Amino acid sequence: MFSKHFAVREQTLLTPQGVANPTRFLDWDSQPSSFKHYPHFCYRLPIATIPALYWLKSLRSITDIQSISKKSYYRLNTPSAGNLHPIEIYLQIRNVQGVLNGVYHWDVLHEELVLIEEIASGGCEPYLGMEQRFSGCLLFFSLVPFRSFWKYGLRGWRYLYLDLGHQLGVLHGVYHNERIKPTKLSDIDKQSLCRILGLGEDEIIGGIYALGEMSDRSVKALNEPLMIVSPCDYVKRDSVLTEALTKDECYQNFFPDYGSNWSESINHTRRSARYFNPLIYDDNWLKELFAILPPPSLEIIHIVFRAHSMQLGVYKEGKCIEEGNFIAEIVHLLLDQHFLANASMVSLIFSDRFDASTHIEAGIIAQEYYTLAEKMTIGCSGIGAFYDEYAKRWSDKSLLYAVAIGGKI
């Protein structure tokens, strides 16, 4: 059932005993850097000067900065476990007005495209199964495992892919807003691609998308790797985590029906709820949420805590399969986080496969819930911490993610 990731799953289970007696001690002053920085001599293009690529700011941007203990605390438009944001974005750009053909890094902190290497007849296309030059943008989403591992240990593997799913959920919204569709890729040589992009041992490609069209001009493979820049100011590696990430395939699935609730204002104002108002009177959004169909790989169980237009209880595929009040059971499942008792409902996302793609797809549909909640001015919170074995009370499949929704405070 859990294929090659069974060992990862078994080593990342949460139990009441383990939660009560944690083995990791966090010193927040030692948190690794959250943003990758290329050298100052690299050519930079402010995104504000490139109208054709301004959607990059919508894809990933800083939406709030606070100062905590004399240290800047950044929050982005995408949810992230622990606000650690272990994702970087790279682009190969060809034939975009005002931009040199080249491979770039999206510097979210400074809202700039950083040119890593100019290209001409060569490029990344051969590593993606392409024989011709691709006009437009090739998007590479990388994972920086230590940013998550530093806080969560090996369980960070789960959060890396859930975070990537949220990021790809935003991509769905951007594509829907721009009325564009990605080009399907094939024959991706992940290891060679990571090497040629200069990602080193501490960063790995997790997802690839293409925006544009194929030309009729032939292309050569880049032969020399790009410059290697560490994504963190320091790194501690874990062999089990590295091996699992290396074996995972690059994700590129796309769900055209997702993204319709996305808007620029929602993208900018979205925040994960940490409190819920139990006195919410309009629950029409419940029917809209039930209408969002999950990918075939997922099973979703909705637990309705409070509603005016439907029976309280357990719902599957829009039908109540068990009536009752299950607040106490769900709160306990989710590590006894008592603020969840005031939510209107919790959605549990299961799969009979425990792998990278199902975690990504759990993050994608959770992002759909976030955008619907923001559209309906209610609160939403993704929860990746739960007592795994206790989840068997609700399904014989593996619980990947939970999403709580309710009234905003």
d(CA 151, CA 345) in angstroms, rounded, equals: 28
- Which residue do the tokens 């997802």 mark? 207
* pLDDT, tens only, 60-74: 999 999 887 778 889
* pLDDT, tens only, 116-142: 999 999 999 999 999 999 999 999 999
Is the C-alpha dihedral spanning 272, 278, 282, 288 positive or negative? Answer: positive
d(CA 310, CA 292) in angstroms, rounded, equals: 18
d(CA 333, CA 381) in angstroms, rounded, equals: 15
Residue 166 token pair: 């949220």
- Burial bucket for residue 329 (CB in 10 Å: 0-12, 13-18, 19+): middle
pTM score above 0.85 = yes
Measured in degrees and rounded to the nearest 5, phi and psi for residue 262 equal: -75, 145
Region 144-167: what's the mean pLDDT?
96
pLDDT at 2: 47
Residue 279 token pair: 């006195």
- Which residue do the tokens 């564009």 mark? 180
Residue 284 token pair: 């029409």
The angle formed by the CA atoms of residues 283, 285 and 291, to the nearest 5 degrees, is: 130
User: Looking at this protein, which amino acid is placed at residue 334?
Assistant: L
353 pLDDT band, cuts 50/70/90, is very high
Region 245-258: what's the mean pLDDT?
93
